[in-house]
Copies of this chain bind each other. A is one copy, B any other.
Amino acid sequence: MAGSTFGTIFKITTWGESHGKGIGAVVDGCPAGLALCEADIQEYLDRRRPGQNRYTTARAESDAVEILSGVFEGKTTGTPISLLVRNEDQRSRDYGNLAELYRPGHADHPYDVKYGFRDYRGGGRSSGRETIGRVAAGAVAMRLLHELGITVRAYVSAIGPVSIDRSRLNFSYIEKSPVGMPDEEASARAVTYLEECMRAQDSCGGAVECIAEHVPAGLGEPVFEKLDANLAKAVMSIGAVKAVEIGDGTLVSGYRGSENNDCYTAGEDGVPYKRTNHSGGILGGISDGSPILVRASFKPTPSIAQPQSMLGRDGKCHEETIRGRHDPIVVARAAVVVEAMTAVTLADHLLLAASSRVENLKRLYGPAQ
């Protein structure tokens, strides 16, 4: 069934395979009157582009985006915004006998069971290139959020056993870090660890954190369309993600209530403020005005250059090695994807919450008098 659409009234539909003609997204429901140009989107696509440093694959694609519809005289029109990125490198590599094998840790086997065929050309729709559609759509959402004063920023918080130290957070370092970490010391250790993995012809996992600031209180629609529920879906739908946490996440299972509750204190000016934000800005599924914190755990790249025992389409086991060069980690390029999915979710919830009170409608349409 149709599974490539996300969102209720700010709705994105993505399409495209790794070795098809291109990848794209249709963003429907974006309000009219928003300034938008291709450069606004290209900026985000460039952040996820491969070939940026030695920890990402060499596939050289410019991933240039074209806006095909929905923008007139530099502004959105309220109608669908169609975004297209042509695949330049459509040649199928020499996959050898991989065409008849299911690569461990990849979606090859479930896809064949479900759809009845094996797209051996780099994973087809389950390839990481699918995220181009997410990032392009997310860039549109981000423009809308910025217009309302909301910021969203994601970064790598862990690679293998190396985690950032919150006391050393330095967001300006993210772009300098070869692995996208906002902590110079952790970044250096992560690089060392990564190179060791690569020498061992292995890959490793990692984590991405995303912070959304200046989000108005009141977003989220109980009880199933809660803001955290939709963030969890949005982020878990990214390939390789195996856990999603909000605020202190898994740590809360070890907390006591007196530790976990974010109490209010009167500030020096007498205005109450939350001393802590264990909840990650969401209570009862609704934003509370504090920064929203989402964390995603990514599994290691499944393609490794070691011999592995694989299931074949013939129903037998085969010892085989996957050739080609693959990213040793997913997280470096995945941060902008987490950011994109967070932005899309927030944009949809902003639109949904606009009609939560009769007085909002009266303000827009005028009351009966």
What B residues does A170 contact at CB under 8 A?
A: none
Q: Which residue of B lies closest to A148 (CB)?
A: B365
- Complex CA gap A220/B4 in Å reads 11
User: Are B243 and A236 touching (Cβ within 8 A)?
Assistant: no
> Which 9 A-B residue pairings sit nearest by Cβ, starting from the closest?
A107-B284, A3-B221, A2-B29, A149-B368, A2-B11, A3-B225, A110-B286, A1-B9, A203-B257
Q: Which of A221-262 contact B (CB under 8 A)?
A: 221-226, 228-237, 239, 241-262
**What's the minimum C-beta distance from A86 to chain B, rounded to whole angstroms?**
9
What B residues does A29 contact at CB under 8 A?
A: 1-3, 355
Is A366 at the interface (CB under 8 A from chain B)? yes
User: Are B31 and A255 touching (Cβ within 8 A)?
Assistant: no
Is A180 at the interface (CB under 8 A from chain B)? no
Our pick among B79, B116, B257 for the contact of A15 (Cβ within 8 Å) is: B79
Where chain A touches its partner, the secondary structure class is mixed
Number of chain copies forming the complex: 4
Our pick among B200, B205, B317 for the contact of A260 (Cβ within 8 Å) is: B205
Contact with B along A17-29 (1 / 0, CB 8 A): 1001111101011
Is A166 at the interface (CB under 8 A from chain B)? no
- Complex CA gap A304/B7 in Å reads 37
Q: Which of A271-304 contact B (CB under 8 A)?
A: 271-272, 278-280, 282-289, 297-304
- Complex CA gap A21/B260 in Å reads 32
User: Are B9 and A316 touching (Cβ within 8 A)?
Assistant: no
What B residues does A70 contact at CB under 8 A?
A: 15, 17, 20
